[in-house]
A and B are shown apart, each in its own frame.
Chain A
Amino acid sequence: MCTTCGCGEPDLPAGTVTHHTHPPDTRRIRVERSILEENDRHAEALRKSLAERGIEAIGLLGGPGAGKTTLLEATLARLGSEAASQAAVEGDCAGDRDARRVAARGARVVQVVTGAVCHLDAHLVGHALEDLDLAGVTRLWIENVGNLVCPAPFACGETRRVVLVSTAEGDDKPEKYPAMIAAADLLVITKIDLLPHVDFEPDRCTAAARVVRPDLPVFRLSARTGEGMDAWLRWLGESPGEGRA
């Protein structure tokens, strides 16, 4: 704090002659409020109302092509008839391709078309759920717009957030997008079936993520081959033996 006028600006270096000035008729008021708090409030209300209905919300986040929808498809396939207890909000800038893909696996889906908007927020998700029958649903998937930057600060009512990085994207992604890693509860390295063909070192990816979040769990899997899917299903609280392959 500035000790000359007590205004909260940093002190000027010793020996500085002129001090900053304030316009004579202004006064300073303290606010100390997060500008994300309105979204946070919506997100918390959403999380609470879902929890009261026994629904866990899992956020899927990652760049375009990280494999979010493919992981969801593979998960639904493993859940077999249980897929009917899953619902999904699919966020995309245009089209309903993801919604159709996920619906084809037996989940209830609503597509949110964001247009030029680069992320979902709690308000958008809340309204999207008005179009979804959640009776009998135990898990809601919230697949954000493919983007490693913008969705990070906007909670959408998720219980847990999963960030996906594919081997095709590069192992430096956690280092380059730390805000997204900071917002994650789990990092999933996807498309590990491609490892023989790409310069991706899973250990380097994990280490970069743990610079930001030392305790972050990291899974490696391939939705295409099924490798690593058991650990993912256990993390979700599902028994890997359930359903059909």
Chain B
Amino acid sequence: MHEAKLCLSLIDLAETHLRRAGGERIAAMRLEVGDLCGVIPEALEAAFPICASGTRAENAALHIYRTQGRNLVLRDMEIV
């Protein structure tokens, strides 16, 4: 269950970019999960609401799309 830890990294990264862009909160984020990155998308989805609670990503929609390879990349976000 390393996905919870990765979720925290995801939220850290997202909040950093939110601050840089001068935004208030994150409405949605789009995450690329490669089939060889060692992460189970369903476990990320399960961990996300708990990890996001109390952060600027609370209630954000997490859109995961799967690709081939080892990428685990936050592509973009919708912010308010």
Establish whether residues A36 and B72, one from each chain, have CB atoms under 8 Å apart when the complex forms. Answer: yes
**Selected interface stretch from A126-134, A175-183, A193-201:** A175-183
Interface residue ranges of A19-38 to B (CB < 8 Å)? 22-23, 25-38
Q: Counting CB contacts under 8 A, is A74 at the interface?
A: no
Select which of A22, A28, A212 is within 8 A of B76 by beta carbon: A28
A34 B80 Cβ-Cβ under 8 A: no
| Contact indicator A33/B74 (Cβ below 8 Å) | yes
**Stretch from A64-72, A83-91, A149-157, A215-223 at the B interface:** A149-157
B52 beta carbon closer than 8 Å to chain A: no
B2 interface neighbour in A34, A154, A182, Cβ under 8 Å: A154
B77 within 8 A of A: yes
Q: Mark B13-54, 1 if CB is under 8 A from A, else 0.
A: 110010001010001111100011111000000000000000
Q: In the complex, A27 Cα to B22 Cα: how many Å?
A: 11
Residues from chain A with a CB closer than 8 A to the CB of B75 are 8, 30-32
The chain B residues found within 8 Å of chain A, CB to CB, are 1-2, 5-6, 9-10, 12-14, 17, 21, 23, 27-31, 35-39, 70-80
